Copies of this chain bind each other. A is one copy, B any other.
Amino acid sequence: MTFVLTEDQAMLRDTAQSFAKDAVPVSHLRDLRDTGAGGVDATTRAKLAELGFYGVLAPEEQGGSDFGMVGMGQILEAMGQTLAATDLIATGVIAASALSLAGSEAQKSDWLAPIAAGQVAAALALDEGAHHAPTAVATEAERDGQGYTLSGEKPFVPGGHFADLFLVVARTFGAPGERHGLTVFLVAKDAPGLSIQALNTVDAHGAARLSLEGVHVDNGLILGDVDQALDLLDPVLDRARIAQAAETLGTAQAAFDMTLEYLNTRRQFGQLIGSFQALQHRAAKMFTELEMTRSCVAAALSAVDRGDASVAELASLAKARTADLIHLVSNETVQMHGGIGMTDDHDAGLFLKRARVQEALYGSASFHRDRYAALQGY
């Protein structure tokens, strides 16, 4: 079954959703923003750790539950519904997957176990331009006897503002644009030569700009094979894209529900505005997109767990369609709320701001349409 949750998965979904409502409602993000926390939220991390959410993709040997992507998808959809600012994708999906897939025994016990336990926050330092483009990495890694020295810039690292560990992608061979020649290095936040600038982002989730100036990394902290980073990152990034799609789906669903609620309460001209046919048809079209996109996300999540060959295609399908979905829904949410939706006091704006971040991360709709077509050969 691809589209029907097992009892355990359904239970996990329910747990995650009530957690989201109780512990991290939208008002929680608003508080974080207004108190200038910049998206750093240790309390919530501790609670997520307690629930074992960081270990969902980690093997049991490292204290994970190995519950799989479908399970993680349920969690992220719930977090998306309340715009919760978490590092579940950066730490629980990307870092956990990368270490599970390619980590040495030492790396697993040093890093994967604490990650699964929620004691270590991690972040992937990959892109160097304003758009997702893995092969474009230019950050240099020069041999230096017992390891490498890294130098370069990573202007926008999600979760980087409070990460303890960075998975830094640098070039050990070849030139920017080439697939071959990239390597993943494990770099601790306090590594000499690494400077981290917290970014105040439009969605109040925050991020970080990294500068690496001669950061030394021992050979033992190379993750996977030298020059072959993308063979490891492809499946890891596809998980990140699918995970992001699941979170985005939750956000779209919540924005849609909020708007539907408003259409059924707000009156103008002595009518519920939801009774105006033009708005009804727009709402019905949004619902259609929502339902069809939900199928894409579900298919992509379960394809990962089944180790299906179609993961790459489904990842691009899910990421592109959720990006288009949240773009439509977030704009309609503001428009259908009218003036009140333009005020900072209302949540509509928070959904709109988070939406564009979700669209951009791990490849825009345009990036994934292009990739989908390429994978299908046209």
Q: Which residues of B contact A288 (CB under 8 A)?
A: none
Find chain B residues with CB under 8 A from A276 CB. Answer: 277
Residue A278 CB within 8 A of the other chain? yes
Contacts of A277 in B (CB 8 A): 276-278
Which chain A residues in 135-182 approach chain B with CB under 8 Å?
none
Query: What is the oligomeric copy number?
Result: 2
If over half of A's interface residues share one DSSP class (helix, strand or loop), that class is named, otherwise mixed; here it is helix
**Which residues of chain A from 260 to 318 have a CB within 8 Å of any chain B CB?**
276-278, 280-281
CB A282 to nearest CB in B, in angstroms, measures: 9
Query: Which residues of chain B are within 8 angstroms of A281 by Cβ–Cβ distance?
Result: 278
Q: Which residues of B contact A278 (CB under 8 A)?
A: 277-278, 280-281
A277 to B276, CA, bound (A): 7
| Nearest neighbor of A281 in chain B, beta-carbon distance | B278
Q: How far is the CA of A277 from the CA of B280 in the complex (A)?
A: 10
What is the bound-complex CA distance between A280 and B277, given in angstroms?
10
**A223 CB, min distance to chain B CBs, angstroms:** 40
A278 to B280 Cα, complex, angstroms: 8
* Residues from chain B with Cβ under 8 Å of A280 in the complex: 278
Q: How far is the CB of A286 from chain B (nearest CB, A)?
A: 14
In the docked arrangement, what's the CA distance between A331 and B361, Å? Answer: 37
- Which of A276, A277, A280 is the most central at the interface, judged by chain B CB atoms within 10 Å of its CB? A277
- Of A276, A278, A280, chain B has the most CB atoms within 10 Å of the CB of A278
Assembly CA distance A280 to B276 (angstroms): 12
Please, which residue of chain B has its CB at the minimum distance from the CB of A275?
B277
Q: How far is the CB of A16 from chain B (nearest CB, A)?
A: 38
Q: Which residue of B lies closest to A284 (CB)?
A: B278
- Complex CA gap A130/B281 in Å reads 38
**Cα of A277 to Cα of B281 in the assembled complex, Å:** 10
CA distance A183 to B122 in the complex (A): 66
Report how far A281 CA is from B285 CA in the complex, Å.
15
Query: A280 — nearest CB in chain B belongs to which residue?
Result: B278
Taking the closest CB of chain B, its distance from the CB of A373, in whole angstroms, is 16
Query: What's the minimum C-beta distance from A1 to chain B, rounded to whole angstroms?
Result: 38
**A276 nearest in chain B by CB position:** B277
A281 to B279, CA, bound (A): 10
Nearest chain B CB to A108's CB is how many angstroms away?
49
CB of A263, distance to nearest CB on chain B (Å): 14
6 A-B pairs (CB sep. < 8 Å): A276-B277, A277-B277, A277-B278, A278-B278, A278-B280, A278-B281
- Across the A-B interface, give the 6 residue pairs with the lowest CB-CB distance, nearest first: A277-B277, A277-B278, A278-B281, A278-B278, A276-B277, A278-B280
